Amino acid sequence: MEIKEQLLGYLKLHEGIKSPCRQLPKRNPELWAKICEVTSWLETTKHKQRCWHVLNDIWSIPLCPTDNVPLKWFDNRYLTFSSQSAKCRNFDHTARKVKVQHKRKEIKTGRAVDERERYRDRAKRLTHHTVRKYKDKIINYHLRGLDFHLDHKFSIDEGLKHGVPPEIIAHWANLEIIPAQTNRKKNAKCSITLAELLEVTSANHKTVT
């Protein structure tokens, strides 16, 4: 019988007792010895953690999807992210969060979030992600502040109108820092053409994913 099946059988047999994994060395020392052997690479004495790896057939410590560093163990599971910062920087997490926000808005207002709102939200999220990752590539980024704003050369609204994927609109080559007054006057206008946008983002192929 495999170790996993033995452990499942043990847990089912002792499901009424408190902390069955912690009681394992005393109640079934032979099984615990096998578990310790197959998880010998773990530098821990936590019984639940070793049992978790056996039950889930995972033979290495999971990595943070954002920073690619080992996750910390907490109580009876691994944390999802290495830090709150990594959680905020993870695009999949923020995308799910926005979907929930849209759903709540639809319930509250009684109307569906339209295509323009969805497009703008996605473009803004991707832009935020780009700024965090590629700010050293954005023109005049060091000037960003009250008097200088982040600008999309080819605007978000025009991107929606021409069917440009928001990943292209949020590309670092489409971003620059310009005087706040200039940005307010520019509004939704573009400082480059669609052809120029596609050319510059194609030449600088690192898009947001």
Residue boundaries of the structural domains of the chain = 3-58, 114-203
Judge contact between 152 and 175, C-beta under 8 A.
yes
Give 115's Cβ-side CA count (13 Å radius).
Answer: 6
pTM for the structure as a whole = 0.55
Judge contact between 149 and 183, C-beta under 8 A.
yes
Percentage of the chain beyond pLDDT 70 is 93
pLDDT value of position 113: 65
Compute the distance between CA of residue 182 and CA of residue 84 in angstroms, rounded to an integer: 35
Phi, psi of 77 (to 5 degrees): -160, 170
Q: How many CB atoms lie within 10 A of CB 98?
A: 16
Compute the average pLDDT of residues 185-204: 88
**Strands, DSSP E only, in the chain?**
73-74, 77-78, 148-152, 175-179
* Sign of the C-alpha dihedral computed for residues 87, 93, 95 and 100 taken in this order: negative
pLDDT value of position 196: 93
Compute the distance between CA of residue 69 and CA of residue 143 in angstroms, rounded to an integer: 32
